[in-house]
Amino acid sequence: MGRQDHSQPASTAGFVVLGLLGDGPRSGYDLAALAGRTVAHFWPVTRSHIYGELPRLEEAGLVRGRDVPQEGVPDKRIYRVTAAGRKALHQWLTHADLGEPRLHHPLLLRLFFGSALDAGEIDARLAEHAQTAQARRALYQTYLARAGEARAETSAQAIRLRQLVLRYAIRRQDEELAWVEEVRKTLAEG
Amino acid sequence: MGRQDHSQPASTAGFVVLGLLGDGPRSGYDLAALAGRTVAHFWPVTRSHIYGELPRLEEAGLVRGRDVPQEGVPDKRIYRVTAAGRKALHQWLTHADLGEPRLHHPLLLRLFFGSALDAGEIDARLAEHAQTAQARRALYQTYLARAGEARAETSAQAIRLRQLVLRYAIRRQDEELAWVEEVRKTLAEG
DNA sequence: CCGATCATGTAATTAGTTACATGATTCG
DNA sequence: CGAATCATGTAACTAATTACATGATCGG
């Protein structure tokens, strides 16, 4: 319609970067850090994705970057979402079909094949799993405790939604733990 | 040590095929069907993986295939695990490090970025999610009901473990549903 | 002096999905 | 007659992870 290129990002990764940037202007480095303690827990994003998408998004007119010279530390490039970017993100949030949740669960995989394992071997795996679930739960709990301290740009609604996502993550670990107990009990009885 | 090649499969996919075959001899086609209603729910396996791995496993001496001519339907090749294969599987089950569970969750992703969405848009996504969770729950429930009817090769221990894995899947959907309710309540209040 | 943090990118590789290709038979 | 089932494979592609490459500064 206009004379600028307002095309959509090709991949989901592009929208994820766009979404992260919705929180406020950030450099690729900062985005990667933010992603690592947030969305990366339920969607795969790495530095490589971010640095790959940023120039694409800029070319499409969805973000705009500005070089910020620094002393001592390396210079950086700060990106912010454009109006077109916000529009594209909203469109994606409301209309794109992202498919169903997918789970990669090594313990389930092993248990499914585990008829050749003895009680001790199964229990070792269960204990391992419970331990990492415990650790994750603690991590998410600290995130939740810190969730209130946000930037000025972050709206009350945004904070509420993020807390709900963290609640999910915590509940999920609780479920893992509860299930491990169920498995232990069942195998002890049988 | 011997004169045969008893090397390990390179990828996890290879062990998954090996594990599926532990249930009894099957063709690639049958393995794909079995995988589709079992492990594929918590580990990615498709026909392509299976047909790719089968020859590799055979070369490594972990499975052995036998051609079975058929009339009417196409001929097939039935594979069964060798002693070396069973050993390799056990080794993998007890020693390999498969990493932590990974989740791809589109709804969480959207909610995390959803500060620009209004109540109606969020609710539409939640409803959608609840519906698919409901459907999945029902599916796993029917699997569980049928879990007793197994092949002769399947041990009582194997059946018990499979039921526990299904219990996990059902509980997980219940959790999704419960969480959706929590989100709805919280957003209605706030 | 060693490791961490800040900062940006690319390259290589592995993993995973979807499409293509073929062909007989059975069921509605 | 069209769709589904049986049956096996490959090719093309997209997605995701890990490694490589560079270089200053700061704290212990």
**What is the rounded distance in angstroms from the CA atom of residue B114 to the CA atom of residue B3?**
61
What are B47's two structure tokens?
């026909």
CB-CB under 8 Å, B165 with A112: yes
Is the distance between the Cβ of A8 and the closest atom of strand D smaller than 7 Å?
A: no
The pLDDT of residue B67 is: 96
**Residue of chain B with shortest Cα separation from A172:** B175
Looking across all nucleic acid strands, the nucleotide with the smallest C1' to CA distance from residue B31 is D7
Q: How many CB pairs under 8 A join A and B?
A: 170
Task: Choose the closest CB to B105 out of A101, A175, A187.
Answer: A101
- pLDDT at residue A1, as a whole number: 43
How far, in Å, CA of B45 to CA of B50, rounded?
7
Among A39, A90, A94, A140, the strongest candidate for a mutation testing the B interface, having the largest count of B CBs within 10 A, is: A94
Give the confidence band of A150 by pLDDT, cuts at 50, 70, 90. low
CA distance A92 to B109: 11
pLDDT at B2: 40
CA distance A183 to chain B (A): 7
* Interatomic separation, CA of residue A85 and C1' of nucleotide C8, rounded (Å): 23
Residue B38 to residue A112, Cβ atoms within 8 A: yes
Distance, in Å, from the CA atom of A86 to the CA atom of A57, rounded to the nearest integer, reads 12
- Residue at minimal CA–C1' distance from C16? B44
CA-wise closest residue to A114 among B90, B11, B80: B90
Measure Cα distances from A185 to A48, A123, A137, B164 in Å.
44, 11, 22, 11
Mean pLDDT score, B25-54: 97
> Does residue B185 carry a pLDDT above 60?
yes
Whether B24 contacts B63, CB under 8 Å: no
**C-alpha–C-alpha distance, residues A115 and B155, integer Å:** 7
**Per-residue confidence (pLDDT) for residue B110, from 0 to 100:** 96
Instruction: Find the Å distance, CA of residue A145 to C1' of nucleotide C6.
Output: 27
* A186 Rama sector, left if φ>0, alpha if ψ -120 to 50, beta otherwise: alpha
Q: Which of the pair, B91 or B151, is modelled with greater confidence?
A: B91
Q: What is the pLDDT of residues B59-71, one digit of tens each?
A: 999 999 999 998 8
Taking an 8 Å cut-off on Cβ atoms, the answer to whether B161 and A121 are in contact is no
Q: What is the mean pLDDT of chain B?
A: 92
Q: What is the pLDDT of residues A67-87, one digit of tens each?
A: 999 887 788 999 999 999 999
Write down the pTM of the prediction: 0.92
Report whether pLDDT(B10) > 90.
no
Distance A166 CA to C2 C1' (A): 37
Stretch B164-187: mean pLDDT: 97
Q: What is the DSSP string of B138-156?
A: HHHHHHHHHTT---TTS-H
β-partners of residue A80 are A64
Q: Does A114 contact B186 at a Cβ distance shorter than 8 Å? A: no
Q: How far is CA A74 from the centre of its chain?
A: 27
Q: Which of A127-131, B84-88, B96-100, B139-143 has the lowest mean pLDDT?
A: B96-100
Residue B96 clears pLDDT 60, i.e. is over it = yes
- The answer, for A6 touching chain B at a CB cutoff of 8 Å, is no
Residue B71 Cα, gap to closest chain A Cα (Å): 33
